[in-house]
Chain A
Amino acid sequence: MSASPPAPAPARHPRSARSELRRLAPLLLLALGVGAVLVGRDMGLGELTAPGPGLWPTIVAGLLIATSVVLLFLDPAEDYEPWTAGTARIVAGLAGLALFIVLFQTIGFVVSAFLLLFAWLRFLGGESWRMALVLAVAGAIVLHLVFVVVLGVPFPAGPVDQLLGG
């Protein structure tokens, strides 16, 4: 993936600096477009009569460059949503998801699914301890049964997964 997302701005940022920060998005697109043109030129543009592999990417990258340059100067600011305290929750949620993928690869589905559901329901969803526990256990087992037993998806095997069959 060549497109890296613009870094999330810190929640508390001076107003004036923040209005400049939003230019990050068009700048990033511009950089992406320029990069694509450079790579595309190396691939060989060919002629219009015999288009090379790089011609089409260069054309669409040109469109990307043109639009992002205009956006740099003419960007309606209204549709930017402010960063809120909720942003921190999302970063936490993302970290949880990443951890889930790592765990999934090493100890299988059931345990990692239980941990993800439980942590998410308790800390991000604000459920009670008991509710989170019940839903997480039930959810992990039901999804294991659906994916592994019914659909036959070969999840990486883990300690609990084998007890449940599949």
Chain B
Amino acid sequence: MGISDGIVQGFAVALDPVNLLYVFAGVLIGTVIGVLPGLGPTATIALLLPLTYTIEPATAVILLAGIYYGSMYGGTITSVLLRLPGEAASVVTTFDGYQMARQGRAGPALGIAAIGSFVGGILSVLGLMLLAPPLADLAVSFGPPEYVALTALGILLVTYLGSGSPLKSLSMAALGLLLATVGQDPITGTTRFTFGSVALFDGLDFVAVAMGLFGVGEILHSLERTDKVQAVTRRIRHIWPTRQDLRDSSGAIARGSVLGFVIGVLPGGGGVISSLASYALEKRRAKDPSRFGRGAIEGVAGPETANNASSTSAFIPLLTLGIPANVVLALIFGALLIQGVTPGPQLISEEPEIFWGVIASMVVGNVMLLVLNIPLVGVFVQLLRVRAGVLAAFALLVTMAGVFSVNNDSFDMWVVLVFGVIGWLMKKTGFEPGPLVLAFVLGSIMERAFRQSMLLSGGSLDVFVTRPLSGGLLAVMAAVVVLSLVMARRRRAAFRHVEPEGEADLGTAPTPGRDTRRTSDSVDTDVPSAPGER
């Protein structure tokens, strides 16, 4: 099937009334939780996983994808108006967006962010359409050794590019791989680590683990902070940017689209890194870099474009190789597995309605977001009146009811509670749950591929090096490890470069959001890491 046939089929799926409703629900929920500081896209998608059981696979992914890129739009609003990033990728927007708002230019800042996100999203969808089919064709020739190398590369990149210390992330990834082995051996059927418990024969339930670590863990973690959020009462005018604004930011939007697309495709990429990279690029290219941090519109347009572009292109590795590039995609991967669909190179040919339907829904969703955001910003801002305690109570209750509905078994509620406590303690001790869940998802793929490779090669580990593709991937891994040692020093310098003059007081600002605080931490300390996906 050619690309044009695929696009036609995709729009037929995306424009189906039911799917239209779910795209709309997805982008609306995404925008709302992007605005609400206590709840990020990861937590929301984890909480909504049980809901996706009952709907068609394509519709489920359309909904979850909508939440993901919708949150990228929503996070901008609070960053600009309150210097309170609703989700991690919007931290950079606070630098110049908040300054623009203080100068009475909140409208254009939000407008250009919405337009930039739209352009970045659409360009990225086009790139996805062109790049994914040939990549999937290439991936069909992948054997088990390639999959071992690919999953290992994915896990390694996520640990290096995610937030927090790479070593701790690697440790969590190892724990995730170990947890994935609980249950029956995929080849011999021997039970492993079940300790005689029948409930564990099928392994730990992915939904319960994800809902516990991300949903409950994050809500508990946010309960400890009692940040007060003041409501924005003044009206926001002139949302549509002037011609001068558009001219100033068109370059930034174009560069942000390309940069975001490329970073999103890489495992471990996604929102935060792409927006940071775009900000650094714009500042470096500017004739007068001192304007940055004082309300430069390019400093809003570039990063906002890049984070939306990357959230779209991050679907490429999932839909073509079956490897989730970041934690949000790992959750979507899990949602598909539950539906009995294994994402991979065959997805395009075997389940074209999922592949093309999801892509086409992204076009529809981005149009909806543009239409929603420009006139309704004032309405979304009012959401900040919802108090964190109310949000937490309802989110937890929905989680508990939702996880019960998966298997109609109250045992799962206890699993969620236990993993919620673990997730909260991990956050307290600086261990990121992201690599754990990603490794948990990839663990069984990796083990099966490893054992098949061993059978294939007659027990020789050379097979990973001598095959050109897996050898190449392993060379990339080696390069990543070596580079990361060099980069650890340079990354710190790069953050200094990104840091605008006014950023030093971010950590002590009266209403610092969690992510603001985390960023200024990683600027101030020696930890060689970027703030990452939550």
Q: Which residues of B contact A57 (CB under 8 A)?
A: 178, 181, 192-193
- B130-158 CB mask vs A (1 if < 8 Å, else 0) is 00000000000000000000000000000
Q: Is B223 interfacial (CB-CB < 8 Å)?
A: yes
Residues of chain B in range 455-469 having any CB-CB distance to chain A below 8 Å: 455, 458-461
Within the complex, the shortest CB–CB distance from B527 to chain A, in Å, comes to 6
Contact of A53 among B185, B387, B408, B461 (CB under 8 A): B185
Interface size, chain B (Cβ < 8 Å): 72
Residues of chain A in range 59-98 having any CB-CB distance to chain B below 8 Å: 60-61, 63-64, 67-68, 70-71, 74-76, 78-81, 83-84, 86-87, 89-90, 93-94, 97-98
Known: A43-B192, A48-B459. A25 touches B431 (CB 8 A): yes
A90 close to B393 (CB less than 8 A):
no
Within the complex, the shortest CB–CB distance from A117 to chain B, in Å, comes to 5
Q: Which residues of A contact B413 (CB under 8 A)?
A: 101, 104
A39 close to B193 (CB less than 8 A):
yes
Tell me the complex Cα distance, A39–B410, Å: 29
Within the complex, the shortest CB–CB distance from B372 to chain A, in Å, comes to 24
B170 close to A67 (CB less than 8 A):
yes
- B100-123 CB mask vs A (1 if < 8 Å, else 0) is 000000000000000000000000
- A35-65 CB mask vs B (1 if < 8 Å, else 0) is 0100110011001111111111100110110
Known: A101-B417, A104-B410, A143-B398. A121 touches B393 (CB 8 A): yes
Tell me the complex Cα distance, A91–B273, Å: 34
Tell me the complex Cα distance, A79–B531, Å: 12
Contact of A48 among B174, B187, B461 (CB under 8 A): B461
Within the complex, the shortest CB–CB distance from A125 to chain B, in Å, comes to 2
Known: A8-B425, A135-B390, A139-B397. A47 touches B459 (CB 8 A): yes
Residue of chain B at shortest CB distance from A78: B525
**Majority-rule SS of B interface residues:** helix
B170 close to A22 (CB less than 8 A):
no
A79 close to B527 (CB less than 8 A):
yes
Within the complex, the shortest CB–CB distance from A124 to chain B, in Å, comes to 6
Residue of chain B at shortest CB distance from A140: B397
B397 close to A2 (CB less than 8 A):
no
Tell me the complex Cα distance, A124–B390, Å: 9
B389 close to A94 (CB less than 8 A):
no
Q: Which residues of A contact B425 (CB under 8 A)?
A: 5-6, 8
Identify the stretch in B82-90, B254-262, B325-333, B446-454 within 8 Å (CB) of chain A at 4 or more residues: B446-454
Within the complex, the shortest CB–CB distance from A163 to chain B, in Å, comes to 19
A125 close to B392 (CB less than 8 A):
yes
Interface size, chain A (Cβ < 8 Å): 76
Q: Is B422 interfacial (CB-CB < 8 Å)?
A: yes
Q: Which residues of A contact B240 (CB under 8 A)?
A: none
- B386-424 CB mask vs A (1 if < 8 Å, else 0) is 011110111011101100110010100111011011101
Tell me the complex Cα distance, A155–B413, Å: 13
Within the complex, the shortest CB–CB distance from A158 to chain B, in Å, comes to 13
- A127-166 CB mask vs B (1 if < 8 Å, else 0) is 1000000010001000100010001011110000000000
CB<8 Å pairs between A and B, sample of 12: A39-B192, A39-B193, A43-B192, A56-B181, A63-B177, A71-B167, A78-B521, A79-B430, A109-B401, A113-B397, A121-B389, A153-B408
The chain A residues found within 8 Å of chain B, CB to CB, are 1-3, 5-6, 8, 22, 25-26, 29, 32-33, 36, 39-40, 43-44, 47-57, 60-61, 63-64, 67-68, 70-71, 74-76, 78-81, 83-84, 86-87, 89-90, 93-94, 97-98, 100-101, 104-105, 109, 113, 116-117, 120-121, 124-127, 135, 139, 143, 147, 151, 153-156
Given A93-B220, A121-B389, 4 more contacts at CB 8 Å?
Answer: A53-B192, A71-B168, A113-B401, A117-B394
